[in-house]
Structure 1
Amino acid sequence: MTSRTAVDVRPITESEFADWQRALNVGFLREPGLDQDILDARRAQFTPGRSLGAFDAGRCVATFRSFAQELTVVGGATVPADAVTNVTVTATHRRRGLLTRMMAQDLTAAKERGDVVATLIAAEYPIYGRYGFGPATSATEWTVDVPRAGLDPRWAGPEDGGRIDLVDAEDVRKLGPELHERLRRGQPGAVSRDELWWRITTGAVRFHPTFHEPYYVVYRAADGRVEGMAAYTADDNWGDAKQPLNTARVKWLTGVTPAAERALWHFLCSIDWVVKVRSGWRAPDDLLPHFLPDPRAAAVTTHADWMWVRILDVVRALEARTYGAAGELVLEVTDRAGLAGGRFRLGASADGAGVCAPAAGSADLTLDVAELAALWLGDESAVRLAALGRVREERAGAARQADALLRTSRRPWCPDVF
């Protein structure tokens, strides 16, 4: 067995990209090789210094990539984030500390760049807490039983003066970015999408040998402005009695108003031959079930943690967001990696603004940086974490006060997987 020190962990060069991609595919249990055109397309994501590999005797045996991202926080401000993805370790090299070494390199570089947080979508729950990440958002998927939903089967369009139109991929690339910007500016947990994201999602850049183009639909309000957009697919499934049993699967749906969301969901439930609609990953408090006369027709298919956050700068993170009440709290933040620990005084004013600075004196709450991340976007409860032994009250009532400051009326949501 090769010793840990003999495995070289470093940024890859462009000439090593094919070997790195092969290791990535192996780690994700995909077919190892790639056609040259697919490999060339994936090079569009290569940024010098942001793709790390572990090399044993010249062969890539672990992968790690990060890229620049903006994350929306409570109140609508954005912070620079280090988005982590493409993390694998080949089965032959497990338990040798390779992920720990790659993560340390990346997070150190991110802090030096001035990133406020790091983000990722965790394939496995137990891995990332030990690196200071905490689950900051969750996501829910519903399956709508269309015949049970109680919608008028004669529905032919929105009743609010708006309209639904099918569009093509080129229209999505033109209209989608501005619509997503409007959504993410008001949605804590949402992240930025660059031009490459839109080209990949519409098939202009193809990362897979087969790309099945979805249907694209937009909702225009009565004044003609695009307020919503969705991409969906449908299967071709018929029962023995020649009855349609088709399912529409939503790849993504963006609505910047409740009217837009309602119109898009009602459209999807009105498509001839469709008896079920799979919602795709939505916010856990999404309005979808309550757009239906019978909310029970929307059954939860999956609910799970989604985007994880790792705070790199406590002061900037806490000052970036707004708060639900006035108050003051002293936090003792532990961080085994030494990137963001310390004692901090958070003060929130009646207008929602927060001020944070290093503090002396006694703390009100003691918590790990991963637990602070779980609380930061407003989804988790300090009272719950205290009951679980993951937050320690140093002053009676401090956890309840933290909830009054930090929790939000609507839950954070990240519409993207990365």
Structure 2
Amino acid sequence: MSRRTETDVRPITKAEFPDWNRALNTGFLQPPAVAEEQLEARRRQFVPGRSLGAFDGDRCVATFRSFDQELTVVGGGTVRADAISNVTVTATHRRRGLLTRMMAQDLAAAKERGDVVATLIAAEYPIYGRYGFGPATTMTEWAVDVPRAGLDRRWAAPEDGGRIDLVDGADVRALGPGLHEWLRREQPGAVSRTELWWQSRTGLVNMNGTPWTEPYYAMYRSADGGVEGLASYRTDDHWGDAKQPLNTATVEWLVGVTPAAARALWHYLCSIDWVQTVKSGWRSPDDLLPHLLPDPRAARITTQADWLWVRILDVAAALEARTYDGRGAVVLEVVDRGGLTGGRWRLEAGPDGASCVPTTESAHLALDVADLAALWLGDASAVRLAALGRVREERAGAARVVDALLRTSRRPWCPDMF
């Protein structure tokens, strides 16, 4: 009878990087062998101490990586985030607490560094709530039935005097970072992008090992010549009977920092000859797209789901970092089973700033740190969470007070997968 050996969880060394990547591919159901080009690209993400592995003997059986990130909060400020990615446990080693050990090690280090939150994109919903993460943003994808949309298929240029040009990867690398910074100054839930992000989206670096084919890049310039939008998209080649085009344009990403830019780029995509369907890619749930069409019903939701998950590591710093349109005060009893930032906190907030300090006053609202994360960026409703039994009013009406303080007119959105 075989004996289960103790599995060692530790930061990996550079020498262990190939085996770690093999385990990573296995966990994500990719071919285990890692091409040298792919390995070289991934080495650029390697930060000593931030890539963890679980080892059974000399074989890596679980992976975990974190990296520095900035997250935009309500009002346009940013906080330091511990971004978590590449989380896998090989099927032969499930239910042994490996993820729990790696997560505890990483979050403790993030707290020590002074990171305000941790972030991740959850592949599966039930996993991360037990570590204090809550779903803080939502993602929506639309498929636009172009013939039904009601747009003039003879569209040739934006009506506002601007223009659309097709550009290449070098233009995207030069102009894209500035546009993204413009967007994330105004978009709660947006995260920072590295130079490697732009290089991998324009073919300079191959992260996934598959042959690179260049997409189309469309750029919008306003009437005064300023660049206010970029989109990356691909098209297929699909024809029906009687030579009828049935082609689809699939948007990989689209940045429109003004409503005019968003309108022009979506109208352009819906005017391309032969394209009958436009797939939007990952968008905010309150994106303007459907209502930029004469018939909004032409934009059919194909996916709507949780997206960015947040784990608050410092309650006071998180609540003081964002802005508040209303004015009020509330005492929160925050339960943190991870022991990182629980306790009772008094939040006093208004348009001129916020103060969040420990208190011995009686709590108005009791909630788990994961539910506070869901409320923090302004998307979730405390009233709704109370109805679901996830938060508890210790004072009648406290959930409405929290909603009046925290909820926002613009829904948070994270454009990125990481």
TM interval, short-chain normalised: over 0.9
Hey, what's the Cα distance between the residues in 1 that align with 2:3 and 2:381?
A: 45
Give runs of aligned pairs for residues 175-190 of structure 1, distance below 5 A.
175-190=175-190
Report what 1:126 is aligned to.
126
Instruction: Provide Cα deviations, 1:116-154, integer angstroms capped at 9, x if missing partner.
Output: 000000000000000000000000000000000000111
**1:159, CA displacement in angstroms?**
0.8
Gaps of 5+ in 2: none
Report what 1:49 is aligned to.
49
Alignment root-mean-square deviation, CA: 0.8
Hey, what's the Cα distance between the residues in 2 that align with 1:277 and 1:153?
A: 14
Using the aligned pairs only, state the percent identity.
75
Report what 2:154 is aligned to.
154
Give runs of aligned pairs for residues 34-183 of structure 1, distance below 5 A.
34-183=34-183
Give runs of aligned pairs for residues 161-310 of structure 1, distance below 5 A.
161-207=161-207, 208-310=209-311
Name the CA shift for 1:163/1:251 in 2 (closer, same or farther; >3 Å).
same
User: Which AA in structure 2 matches 1:342?
Assistant: G
Instruction: Provide Cα deviations, 1:49-104, integer angstroms capped at 9, x if missing partner.
Output: 00000000110000000000000000000000000000000000000000000000
Instruction: Provide Cα deviations, 1:13-43, integer angstroms capped at 9, x if missing partner.
Output: 0010000000000000100001212211111
Instruction: Provide Cα deviations, 1:309-334, integer angstroms capped at 9, x if missing partner.
Output: 00000000000001121000000000
Deviates more, 1:32-41 or 1:274-283: 32-41
Hey, what's the Cα distance between the residues in 2 that align with 1:3 and 1:333?
A: 38
> 2:325 matched to 1:324?
yes
Report SS of the residue matched to 2:241: coil
User: Which AA in structure 2 matches 1:288?
Assistant: L
TM-score normalised by structure 1 residue count: 0.99
Report what 1:364 is aligned to.
364
Hey, what's the Cα distance between the residues in 1 that align with 2:288 and 2:37?
A: 41
Give runs of aligned pairs for residues 15-34 of structure 1, distance below 5 A.
15-34=15-34
**1:212, CA displacement in angstroms?**
2.1
Instruction: Provide Cα deviations, 1:144-171, integer angstroms capped at 9, x if missing partner.
Output: 0000000011110101010000000010
Hey, what's the Cα distance between the residues in 2 that align with 1:247 and 1:46?
A: 37
**1:352, CA displacement in angstroms?**
4.9
Report what 1:313 is aligned to.
314
User: Which AA in structure 2 matches 1:310?
Assistant: R
Report SS of the residue matched to 2:243: coil
Instruction: Provide Cα deviations, 1:334-387, integer angstroms capped at 9, x if missing partner.
Output: 0001001010000012x2521111111200000000000000000000000000
Deviates more, 1:338-347 or 1:206-215: 206-215
Deviates more, 1:200-209 or 1:65-74: 200-209
User: Which AA in structure 2 matches 1:380?
Assistant: A
User: Which AA in structure 2 matches 1:414?
Assistant: C
Report what 1:10 is aligned to.
10
User: Which AA in structure 2 matches 1:114?
Assistant: G
Hey, what's the Cα distance between the residues in 2 that align with 1:3 and 1:110?
A: 31
Instruction: Provide Cα deviations, 1:206-230, integer angstroms capped at 9, x if missing partner.
Output: 1123122110010000111100000
Provide runs of 4+ in structure 1 moved above 4 Å.
1-4
